[in-house]
Chain A
Amino acid sequence: MAEHKWTMIVDLDKCTGCQACVVACHAENNVPTASETEVVRGRGLHWIRIERYWEGEFPDVKAKFLPVFCQQCGSAPCEPVCPTYASYHSQEENLNVQVYNRCVGTRYCGNNCPYKVRYFNYYSPDFDEPLNQQLNPDVTVRSAGVMEKCTFCIQRIRRTAETANAEGRDIEDGEVVPACVQACPADVFTFGDAYDPDSRVAQRVPQERQFKLLEHMGTEPAVYYLKGGETHVGE
């Protein structure tokens, strides 16, 4: 199979902080919803989260939104520290993947992730009626004691790859659409294969507005953020 470099571009200038991506991700990936007390304890569980930063002093404040999810690092800090290879790098998709069955829950990967996008299942997930009816059958429901994180909707990548393979063709650009990309009303996300020179991601980067999150740490993220000038919400 051909190798891919799945890449995401997040245009921060378009993000309104509406959290539609967060909800879509919860639905697609069977992410349990943490209760209020759990969130207060700092255990909110979202594979993608909108980090909201405030600038300035009231009343002259500006909000900045930063959707953060697993950056699928090319040189991922979480991978070497896992004693059981539960966190490893997939050759085919160039993604940082998590094997839930293999995870024993040392939580070393979570400590070593500078983005803190790895979430630990402190309790077994509990999906109240009728939410249990809408669980995605393509995605494992993770038990207590394992780590989980954004997979770039690898189930969708795999399904598309299998279909394309069966039809004897390559995956087309735009054929794989992760849940967050699909749900975003402002079209913030661009997703595709950076190894395909004709893909939109390959053509949109590099560009002037581009930066990577915590780029100085040398983690080689596969997520590009775009941010130009002084654009803020409400302007």
Chain B
Amino acid sequence: MLESKAENVPFWEPPVPEDEALRQQVEHARDEHLLLDPRPPAETNALMLAGMQRTGPVFWLLVVGLGGMVLALLVTWFIQMNQGMGITGLNRSVMWGPYIANLVYFIGIGHAGTFISAALRLMRYDFRRPIARAAETVTLFGLAMAGLFPLIHLGRLWKLYYMIPIPTQRELWPNFRSALLWDATAITTYLIGSTLFLYAALIPDLAMVRDHVTGIRRKIYGALALGWRGTEGEWHRLETLSNILGFIIIPVMFSVHTIVSWDFAMAIQPGWHSTIFGPFFIIGALFSGVAAVILIMVIIRKGMGLGYFIREEHFNAMGIFLMILSMAWVYFYFAEWITNWYGNLPMEVALQNMLTGELAPLFYLMLFANIIVPLGTLWSRRVRTSMPAMLVIALFVQIGMYLERVLIVSGFLSRNELPFNWVNYTPRWPELLITVATFAFLALLYLVWTRVVPIIPVWEVYEGQALQSRRRVGRALLPTRSDPH
């Protein structure tokens, strides 16, 4: 029988059935599914390494362009510190603007990485295998960008140490009653946890690169790979570590965005003071984060020639995921807003400003981008497996979720209890430039990262492929999957 033959051959040499119809089934499955399409590791490794070595003129042009944006960010930041926050458009009532919206947004896109990777890993969804690292990297750099914003936002950055719990002769600690301190603690925990999680899974791939390079690179990758040899004990410990970190990181992920939402919900500002903000922000974060991962999947697939690893099935799975999250977002959004709107308390007048007032264009664009676009298109498998379409949808979700953050932060602040203090907010160039440049910064980090480490966890792909086998049932040859856990 087929199985008995398969036992003696390596996993990348799948059995070839004698039956013509069955052979076609096997071929078809190879086209459709990455895990049923094993190739010799040497070939796959070469594919990954070739992607990493793609540094043509476009790459360098992008590096220079994005680097210039980062430089502009630093210069603007310096000017802002030198001149004062006055160069922004903030005012007496709207004291938080896009800087804080950016903080929430970038932590938000950082969410999906760990979720896709850790939660899907623990739930054994195999579609995560080739995209896990791309997603975790979004977390890493998303958090790094988010971490910039409390600093850019501070009126006196040079006094930052008052917010850090360091023992001083004053014996005065930071105020742990402040949500900002909870926030800093949660984000730091999440950053450490997700970095460890990313690094643990990276070790075998770093060892793979080490074995393919020479000279100084071999030394660097060798040091980073921590002397990985690939023994059974090492694989076993890696598996255990990844599972433990996965279980730790999931509750941390929930806590982080809940605490970020508490920066708002704990304040008594109308529109912010809401019990639903915790779960609502988590869903929003996952929504924008999954869209961000889709965006990056499209880009790295095209830019690095990774069509073998990232296939239509992955876009299909992520598209379904995005659609479910869109529905969940709609649910939370209206659970929150209809309550406020129907209650019609005078304090909640900011809602009127969004429905019919100055913020209406942004409000309706947000609804269009977050509801109509994903829910109107993602039901179709043809859309979900079309890369240009997914790129556009993911971009719309990014725009929508970004607007949602801005409307929550500045939109609500512009309307408060005493009508005398109603001030509309218009951003000025520093906020706009810093915001745009942060996206460029993220892109630059990602671009360099993909050329430095394998962005596809190739060992996870091998693992998935090695766990596959086929069984014959009647006239059909069904793929089966063994579960070693």
Q: Which residues of A contact B (CB under 8 A)?
A: 38, 41-45, 49, 51-53, 66, 68, 77, 80-86, 102-108, 110-112, 114-116, 119-124, 143-147, 213-214, 217
Contacts and interface: CB of A to CB of B under 8 A. Distances in A.
Please name the 3 residue pairs, one residue from A and one from B, whose CB atoms are nearest each other, closest first: A105-B155, A145-B155, A42-B91
A84 B162 contact: yes
Nearest to A102: B162
A123 B95 contact: no
Interface in B161-185: 162-163, 172, 174-175, 177-181, 184
Contacts of A107: 95-96, 153, 155
Contacts of B181: 83
A108 B83 contact: no
How many interface residues does chain B have, given as a range?
A: 35 or more
Interface of A is mostly: loop
B85 A120 contact: yes
A68 B413 contact: no
Contacts of B159: 102-104
Contacts of A143: 156
A200 B266 CA distance: 38
B418 A80 contact: no
B85 A144 contact: yes
B175 A85 contact: yes
Nearest to A147: B155
A81 B180 contact: yes
24 contacts: A49-B420, A53-B419, A68-B420, A77-B267, A81-B267, A82-B175, A83-B162, A85-B172, A85-B174, A102-B162, A104-B155, A104-B163, A106-B155, A111-B413, A112-B268, A116-B93, A119-B92, A120-B155, A123-B86, A144-B83, A144-B85, A147-B155, A213-B418, A214-B418
A84 B175 contact: yes
B421 interface: yes
Interface string B77-92: 0000001111001111
Contact of A122 (B85, B267, B418): B85
B423 interface: yes
Contacts of A111: 95-96, 267, 269, 413
A227 to B, nearest CB: 15
B13 interface: no
B155 A82 contact: no
A122 to B, nearest CB: 3
A123 B83 contact: yes
Given A111-B267, A145-B154, A83 B86 contact: no
Nearest to A120: B95
A68 B90 CA distance: 21
B32 interface: no
Nearest to A66: B420
A108 B180 contact: yes
A2 B33 CA distance: 79
Interface in B72-111: 83-86, 89-96
